[in-house]
Structure 1
Amino acid sequence: MGSKTGASAKSVRRGAQELPPQLEAFDHLATMVAVVEPDGRCLFANAVFEEVLGLSRRSVMRESIYDWFVDPTLLKDIVTAVAHNEFATSRLQAELKRHQHVLAGDPLPVQVIVTKMDISSHVLIELVEIEQQTRQEREERALDQAQANKELIRNLAHEIKNPLGGIRGSAQLLQMELENKSLTEYTQVIIHEADRLQALVDRLLAPHRRPHLVGDVNIHEVCERVRSLILAEFPKGLKVWRDYDTSLPEFRGDREQLIQAVLNIAHNAAQALSERIAEGDAKLTLRTRVMRRVTINRHLHRLALVLHIEDNGPGIPEAIRDRIFYPLVSGRDGGSGLGLTLAQTFVQQHQGTIECESEPGRTVFKILIPLP
């Protein structure tokens, strides 16, 4: 991103300075980016900066970047040092003021990255919301864990499947040879348990066997299908509320996989609401919204679908809250611990992600899927 842009390149004028048009690429980033003079005067701010500050780009460039921070003392020293080549880049944590017309309230904690540019003494400043950075790190861990789970499940299922067939076949042969028919009760137990384990193995392998059937998907048709299934199983004591953004467009995806993913989450929620269902005040909410400029799995998307599945149940036990997407982890007696694992797999196959927030009285699963 140097000052040599070619004879035919047009420059973008910011105030009294000529800046190369490459800076326009910063408008496609999900983080806040600004180019400043050593004294803090802003020469360029990208689109995200405008959105977060609630100011037009022209207004932003009339101000000093130091006016945007609660305590800019350390930032001033670092910008000066970087501008004078004392070091090429530096990081610090700071608090960004929220503009009174947009998000008045507590300051926004950010990670600030200060880098020297080779355009005169200009300095590039990038701000990453601490919450966003934490979410991205959590997504990366979830992706790595999901891949590890997938390999573990596949290998384990195949290792179980072969001897399981032998056990069942041997039990059947033994049953045929038994003269005392009262003993067949024991062979039936073996056959029954082998069949149950076989069904479990098939469920473990199902996401990897089933082809991805892509078509046009309307997320509200998915929600309505799940809603009807849940109400059919829990006809009394449970209300399933709709809160839809009907402007959401269709997208390409596997409708059946998404129905299964949403159903697994909603069904878990309904089962967790058993006490409130008995009292008649159980509530499950399906809420759709659109988000703009969303980073999912390290990729920036212009638009994304957000589906909230919210319940007023007891919450997820704290002991397993960080492991709920792991296979065979369940907070319910008799649960297989596969529902959320499969839901995560199906959503990830749509380049999306699932997040969860839970406390007593409120649990929200949030599915994010990129939109075209």
Structure 2
Amino acid sequence: MNEADCPSWAEPMTTGLARVDATLRLQWINPALAECLAIGLRSAAGQPLARWLDDAALAQARRALAEQRPLQWREMLLADLAGRELRADIALQPFADGLLLEVHVLAAPMPLASPLSATLRGFAHEVKNPLAGLRGAAQLLQRRVDSDDLRALAGLIIDEADRLGTLANRLLHHDGAPQLGPVNIHQLLERLTDLLQADPSSPQLRHDYDPSVPDLQGDADRLQQVLLNLVRNAAEAGAQTLTLRTRVEHGVRVSERMLRMALRVDVIDDGSGVPVALRDSLFEPLVSGRADGTGLGLALSREIAHEHGGELRCSSRPGHTVFSLHLPLERTHD
């Protein structure tokens, strides 16, 4: 293998990785780090670490190399080749006759009004590597199984891992704006159905679609995440039957705005319902009715609804809970 070639084990990693030789020059970097630093995989070989680190940090790196000990920096400022300034957690580990460099790029500080996003960035950081492992295992299964059905299920796992990886990257890089495009809500709901039916313990599904619903402008990945969060909550509340319903509504008030035309997606379940004590704080971060719950799913879902100019609401009693996602079908002014 050419020294500039990234080893196969490092290529799928979502953490930025590089090998640094004894002269503190890059020998190879993986695609994740190349993207972060805006540099080509080949052109990175031979670049001095001094291109990104100051003299004090270089001196520490030389000592770490000489003493063969790990070194970590928190929230270090870097500049990529395009001149964009980045903040990153950086680790150096002894590796053969050099060092293994790990770079975790951090998001820009968020406004104090958005504490949820800071929580989610930490969560996204933690799930990226397990997602890469999950994807790799699914790829191996897809190649080794003989059944078309099993290969399709493995492909579903790969697609979901990729989607979650994209969401994690957006949170980590603070790409706050949704990536808007035409979205067919029924296609998202049918994909959701495929995911649920892959689990034999999932509730019985019913569909009540309005065929006249037009496409909306939205971020398909983020909206898919909202719907997935809602049906998972229903399943965890002991629902036996789950109904997915779509309707077009006119004259819907969302916060201080009046939407002339809106899409309403209802997720209706017959589970135990939302506990009375949680109803006022249901969409707040870190609020959960389950001992093993993270309290992030509904908070994230409402934040995504707000990003799209919409709203997420809930009405609940034992045996009948409705989460309603309202989304604008045309942009209106206040």
Could you state the TM-score of these two structures normalised by the residue count of structure 2?
0.49
The TM-score, its normalising length taken from structure 1, stands at 0.44
Q: Which has the larger radius of gyration?
A: 1
